[in-house]
Amino acid sequence: MAKRVIIVTGASSGIGAATCRRLAKPGVSIVAHARGGTDGAKRPALNSLVGELRDKGAEATAVFSDLSDGMAADLVSEASKCFGQVDQIVSNAGFALPTLVGDLTRAEFNRSVEVMTGAFFDLITTARPQLEASPCGRIVAVSSFVAHRSPAGKLFPATAAAKAAIEGLARSFAAQTACCGVTVNCVAPGFTRKESSGHSALSEGAWRAAAEATPSGRIAEPNDIAAAIEFFLSDSAAHITGQTLHVDGGLSLV
Ligand SMILES: NC(=O)c1ccc[n+]([C@@H]2O[C@H](COP(=O)([O-])OP(=O)(O)OC[C@H]3O[C@@H](n4cnc5c(N)ncnc54)[C@H](OP(=O)(O)O)[C@@H]3O)[C@@H](O)[C@H]2O)c1
C-alpha cells in the first residue's frame, strides 16, 4: 500500500489508542490527537503512544486540542504540515453524558454536539479536497449504541443526539463522495471497557449490568472496536460506504 496519512482523534486512551496501535506500521503516518485530559494529565499518555507508534515503524505526531473550542480543522492543517497530505480520518473523540432531559442544560447539549458532531463536520469539510484526491480516501466516525437504543436502563440524550447526527452526516457525505472513491462509514460500539484514565459515565455496578445486558455476556474491548475501524480503512473495504457497523456482542439484537 502507498503512504497513508491518518488522523485519529481521541487517541490518548481506549478505542482511539487501540486504533493507532493497530494501524502503526512502515508507510503509515499517524496524527494522534487528544485533549490531554481536562488538566493536561493525559498528555504523557499520548506522547508515550506516539513513541510506541514510531517503534512500530510508523511516522507519528501528537496534537493536543479541546474540540469544544472548534479546533478540529487545525488538525487537517497540522497533518498536511507534518506529513504533506491527509488520506484517512478516524473521528473518535467523544464522551457520554448521562444527564436526563430536564436536568440537561442547553450548554451541555451544545457541548456534546460541538465536540462530536461539530468536530466531525469540521474535519470532513476541511479535508474533503485531500480525501477526494487520495487513492485511499477513507473516513470512519465512531458512533454509539446510545443513538439506537437504551439498554440496561441507561439514557444519554445529548450523546444520542450527537451520535445520531454523525451517522446521518456520514451517510450524506458518503453519497456525495462515492464518485471520488472516498468511503465514509460509522462504527457503533456497544458497552466498551474504559482504561483507568478513560472518561467513564458508569459505576462499577453499571458496567457489570452492561455485560449482563450484552448477549455475548461481556463488554467489548477497545481492540474489538479498533478491528472494525481498521477494516473500514483498509483496501478490502473499498466498496463499502454509508454503513454503520454495530460492534456490540449482539446488544443491538435485543
Ligand atoms: N466505551 C464505551 O462504552 C463506548 C460506547 C459507545 C461509544 N463510545 C465512543 O467511543 C469513542 C471513544 O471512547 P472511549 O471509550 O475510547 O473513551 P476514552 O478512553 O474516555 O477516550 C475518549 C477520547 O476522547 C477525547 N476527548 C474527549 N473530550 C474531548 C474534547 N472536548 N476535545 C478533544 N478530545 C476529547 C479524550 O481526550 P483526553 O482524555 O485526552 O482528554 C480521549 O482521548 C467516543 O466517541 C465514545 O462516545 C464508547
CATH of the domain at 204: 3.40.50.720
Q: Which atom of ligand 1 lies closest to the CA of 199? A: 20
What pTM was computed for the model?
A: 0.98
With vertex at residue 141, the alpha carbon angle to CA 139 and CA 144, rounded to the nearest 5 degrees, is 160
Q: Cα 49 to the chain's mean position, in Å?
A: 16
Ligand 1 site-directed mutation target among 22, 35, 167, most atoms within 8 Å of CB: 35
| Separation of alpha carbons 119 and 92, rounded Å | 10
| Each residue's pLDDT tens digit, 185-240 | 999 999 999 999 998 889 999 999 999 999 999 999 999 999 999 999 999 999 99
Q: Are 210 and 219 in contact (CB under 8 A)?
A: yes
| Separation of alpha carbons 203 and 207, rounded Å | 6
Residues of the domain holding 27:
4-253
Could you tell me if the CB of 120 is within 6 A of ligand 1? Answer: no
- Strand intervals (E) in the chain: 4-8, 28-34, 59-64, 88-91, 138-142, 183-189, 244-247
Could you tell me if the CB of 191 is within 6 A of ligand 1? Answer: yes
Distance (Å) from CA 16 to ligand 1 centroid: 8
Could you tell me if the CB of 221 is within 6 A of ligand 1? Answer: no
In the chain, how many domains are there?
1
DSSP state of 118: I
Torsion, Cα of 115, 119, 121, 124 (10° steps):
-160
| Each residue's pLDDT tens digit, 79-137 | 999 999 999 999 999 999 999 999 999 999 999 999 999 999 999 999 999 999 999 99
As to burial, measured by CB atoms within 10 angstroms (0-12 exposed, 13-18 middle, 19+ buried), residue 110 is middle
